[in-house]
């Protein structure tokens, strides 16, 4: 009766005067900065938001008229919309990158990126979200592998929980990346742009074999894990894998917080390994961390080990 109410108006590139500039910015992020597609999306969105602010507050003006006062006002506005130190840091970083691009591409005669203030961000100030290893084990054991979907989900959880690989790394695994003789999985194009190898435990290997032989759809795809939802094929984004993890954890009776995806299992494995007194460099190699300082975050959750090295309170017990 009112079809116009159900039509979403989406402005195409032909109606967007900034589309050519943003396309050039995206090409700059890919060719000059070498950013991965997922990272480019976030930085490109930051550039789009900065442009939207400038067009709204300085209508009709060219980017050449951009001043330091404009930059500071735009940064202040973006920070007012950010709730955490992480999002504030990302917002200022994206604006800096866009301003550097404007100077590099000749759209502005000055590099205004140096005007953007630094925002305080303490990376190691928080504790990583994690599950007790017993909860992870209970969720895996609660999966009844009698259907193709359940067989696949059990293999997904076991691989995530025993190797600590990331969501994107799991989706990128191909059948040829598994070395069954050595019990290893080759991980391509990691977050640090380095390939690595992770060990394949016997239980995880058996679950993968069960999935490949009994449950994996018979389609011509090189990727290991496939979606059962038509069109059948590899997972296109991180959301389906995160939904699998959340669903299986909830079915296992695990109470979930705000963060509940593949990374939760990665944090849980790292915490478990540190609690077992595994060498920190060994944990860093497994997780694919380039800096051991990143892995040191998990040392904070090993309370029993920290108590052993704690110094006595000056002056005795309070």
> Which residues form the catalytic set?
166, 191, 263, 266, 289, 298
Question: Any residues with CB less than 8 A from the CB of 303 and at least 6 apart, and which?
Answer: none
User: Where does 117-270 show beta strands of DSSP type E?
Assistant: 178-179, 184-187, 196-199, 226-227, 233-234
3-state secondary structure of 179: strand
Specify whether the CB–CB gap between 132 and 115 falls below 8 A. Answer: no
3-state secondary structure of 304: helix
3-state secondary structure of 156: helix
Region of 159 on the Ramachandran plot (φ > 0 left; ψ -120 to 50 alpha; else beta)? alpha
3-state secondary structure of 290: coil
Question: Any residues with CB less than 8 A from the CB of 163 and at least 6 apart, and which?
Answer: 185, 198, 199, 200, 204, 269, 286
- From the CA atom positions of the chain, what is the Rg in Å? 24
Q: How far, in whole angstroms, is CA 117 from its chain's centroid?
A: 26
Question: Any residues with CB less than 8 A from the CB of 243 and at least 6 apart, and which?
Answer: none
């Amino acid at each position: 009766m009112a079809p116009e109410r159900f039509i979403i108006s989406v402005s195409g590139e032909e109606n967007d005067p900034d589309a050519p500039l943003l396309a050039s910015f995206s090409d700059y992020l890919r060719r000059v900065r070498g950013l991965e597609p997922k990272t480019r999306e976030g930085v490109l969105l930051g550039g789009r938001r900065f442009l939207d602010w400038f067009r709204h507050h300085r209508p009709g003006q060219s980017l050449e008229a951009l001043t330091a006062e404009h930059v500071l006002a735009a940064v202040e506005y973006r920070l007012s919309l950010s709730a955490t130190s992480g999002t504030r840091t990302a917002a200022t970083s994206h604006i800096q990158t866009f301003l550097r691009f404007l100077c590099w591409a000749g759209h502005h005669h000055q590099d205004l990126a140096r005007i953007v203030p630094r925002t305080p961000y303490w990376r190691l100030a928080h504790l990583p979200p994690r599950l007790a290893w017993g909860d992870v084990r209970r969720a895996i054991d609660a999966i009844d592998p009698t259907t193709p979907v359940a067989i696949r989900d059990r293999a997904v959880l076991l691989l995530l929980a025993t190797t600590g690989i990331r969501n994107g790394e799991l989706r990128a695994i191909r059948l040829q990346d598994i070395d069954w003789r050595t019990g290893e999985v080759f991980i391509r194009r990691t977050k640090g742009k380095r390939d690595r190898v992770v060990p394949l435990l016997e239980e995880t290997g058996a679950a993968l074999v069960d999935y490949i032989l009994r449950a994996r759809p018979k389609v011509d795809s090189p990727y290991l894990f496939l979606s059962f939802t038509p069109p059948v094929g590899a997972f296109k984004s991180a959301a389906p894998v995160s939904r699998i993890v959340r669903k299986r954890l909830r079915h296992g009776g695990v109470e979930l917080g705000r963060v509940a995806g593949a990374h939760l299992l990665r944090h849980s494995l790292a915490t478990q390994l540190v609690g077992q007194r595994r060498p920190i460099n060994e944990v860093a190699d497994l997780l694919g961390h380039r800096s051991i300082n990143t892995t040191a975050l998990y040392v904070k959750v090993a309370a029993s080990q920290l108590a052993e090295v704690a110094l006595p309170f000056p002056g005795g017990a309070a």
